[in-house]
Structure 1
Amino acid sequence: MIIKQFQDKPLAHYSYAILSGDKISLVDPSRDPKPYYVFAEENNAQIVAVFETHPHADFVSSHLQIHNETGATIYTSKLVGADYPHKTFDDGDTFSMSEVIFSALNTPGHSPDGITIVAKDKKSKHAMFTGDTLFIGDVGRPDLRERAGNMKAKREELARAMFQTIQNKFKQLPDETILYPAHGAGSLCGKNMSTDSSSTLGKERKSNWAFKNLSEKDFTDHILADQPFIPSYFGFDVDLNKSGASSVESSIAKIPFLMEVATVEKNITVVDTRNEIDFKNNHLPNSINIMARNEDDKIETWLGAIIAPNEPYYLVVDSITKRQEIIERIAKIGYEAQIKAVVTLANLDMEQSDKFDFSTFEGRTEDYTILDIRNRSEVQEGKVFANAVNIPLNELRHSIKIIPRNKPIVVHCAGGYRSAAGSSIVAKEMKEVKVFDLSEKVNIYK
């Protein structure tokens, strides 16, 4: 049994290919199936199975596309109520592939329909693919399925289910079982995940807080506290994964491209992915600056947090050479179908952001309304400015009315990336007041 791990860094997502003989099974594949196809070609092997541990909230899976293109059987829990062709895979069910036997464990907690996939080969090598149930150093958050999916569940119920899962479901597995989660540090599906990409069940039994001798109440209190925010797209992706997404290539191919434009439809939001300096110097009206300069700019998360599911938008890229890359990243969360057109900008004057005189602000911060758009958990650890108004970035578009308008506004986050988006949102909606981005200058005050 050879296990290949694939990483999607911006979403902190891990997916897997398990090779035995000339057959391959996949676990929780990303939206683009090409890397798995390349792996199959390199090993002269056939993809015969796709395991979905649950309907994912933070990315769109390619399980249906892979089924349509390879004939692979999709395995998922009967509790999902999946609308795509599949075989149910629950407690006691097994699937044999060459020298590997896969078995299912129902492991609710992150979701009511989650399963863990256990793989064992003839050499008694054990591996477990835990999806969003058991992470390295943590467990999956239980608060994502109250408003989405075929089976809605309250967070308290799922927290208690997670306690039972951790207490009882893995007892028969040996300590040397290699643990492969669906996410690592940086994912919004948990709060204290390790940067390690794999572990062993024995190590987690010793070091993961969830395996400590806790009462059910202490366990549930801990897992429910201080969870990250929930982006708008999470419920949308749960439902999309339950039905199965269309081919990523055909979906992307439908998006129009317009070159060197100076105007677009009024009242349609424009998402501008260029560098903040270029954006501030010139941009289309009604624009929001969500940068996509590199993998460290998490456009997937912030686009899905700021733009609502099914909300149409124009997408600005700085060059035709960036078009495909950025669309493919957006397709990972299923937001490509909402793009009215991808555009590059004409070399004409359009709108500029207000010029920020930092020296004036530095000496008289009381003359400004300071807007802190960090998450509430970040603010609880300490304010940068004592008099700042806190509205998290993901809530900003719906909270404009509560921002004071009697002073110029300075927007800040923790390092500058989010404040570029936040200041553009506020400036778009509040034309009667000056809006400035503190950007990286915030580091002076930390």
Structure 2
Amino acid sequence: MKDTATPTAADRVPLTAAPASSAGDDGSLPHLREIASFGHQVTGVAVAADGRIFVNFPRWTEDAPISVGVLTPDGDVRPYPDDRWNGWRNARRDELNPQDRWVCVQAMLCDSQNNLWVLDPGAPAQAFVVPGAPKLVRIDLATDSVVGCIAFTLEIAPQGSYLNDVRISPDGRFAYITDSGTRGAIVVVDFGTGQARRVLDGHPSTQTDPGVTVHAGGAPLRRPDGRGVELAADGIALTRDGLYLYWQAVKGKTLYRVPTEALRDTTLATDEVGNRVEKVLEHRPADGLHIDRTGRLLITAVEEHAVKVWDGATLTTLLHEPGLRWPDTFAEGPDGTIYLTDSRIPEMNWFKPGHPDALSSRLLIIADAAPSAAPDTKPGTPPGSQSEADRNRSPD
């Protein structure tokens, strides 16, 4: 593992921030606008090319009645793709098939081929992994039907794992998944062979940082028994050319990256892949990551009620709102609108006994989404690397 060197201009990936003047005539930061609220805890969001918005609700503190839903024009959430897939109930675990039902969905994304990908770690309450439940499911948005499913064995998603977030390569041949469980890793899925591998399994870059304590409201975020937030490799982002993968542990302060060709190369030994990992940036705990169509790397600042932007040289505050309890997951709409879920993790009854099992949550959009001019840090490290030809071509 190495620190990234300061690049030449030809090496930079254009994760460039928009001019600060576009943030508002009065120089204010962008702001959040709520577009939906839920009576259950939301984590993931995905937006299709036709504008449909999908959300998911993991089974953390309650047996959520809907796991994956699509927002209707009147603001309701309709089970997606149907009631059967949303029919799992923890109390009926012994009689239901976990392979064709949502057990504990954590994340989703829409790709450029009009597919919705749904990641189900199959571990209600982030605890026992239900055998047969961990899976990555592909839904054809043209027909609203399931057309593919990669089922993960206990070798790929062992007890203690929690498959957290996913990105699909621009050519649609590979998936990259973070495991934020007790032993962090990156899971690489080859759709051509249908095979999955755990890469960087136990590597320091995918583990929790023992020197970091996640805070909320200025105090350590802990359960009554003293346990804090122990989420390993969590947020994930893929450069638009597919050349670099980024990730960070929630209980961590370091943003890492690795060339994706190293993850895909099955001939590389574990330590050889580890030697390709680069430290990009040290800051504070983060959850969701996203590289938008302009090339900006957006980072959720979970302790600071904020969203930040990394442009390859500076980390900048895009927005700060005290009411943002836990900025969780980004999605980008067909018009470039950035969506953000607020999962309110500090308000869970894991950390606040007496709070209800069902936790209300919100879906927001970032209005006037241009980064602040005031930098937080200047580490001088680029988000990624690509050729001049790659930088000038249209995104996939």
- Greater relative contact order structure (CA < 8 Å, 6+ sep): 2
TM-score by length of 1: 0.29
TM-score by length of 2: 0.32
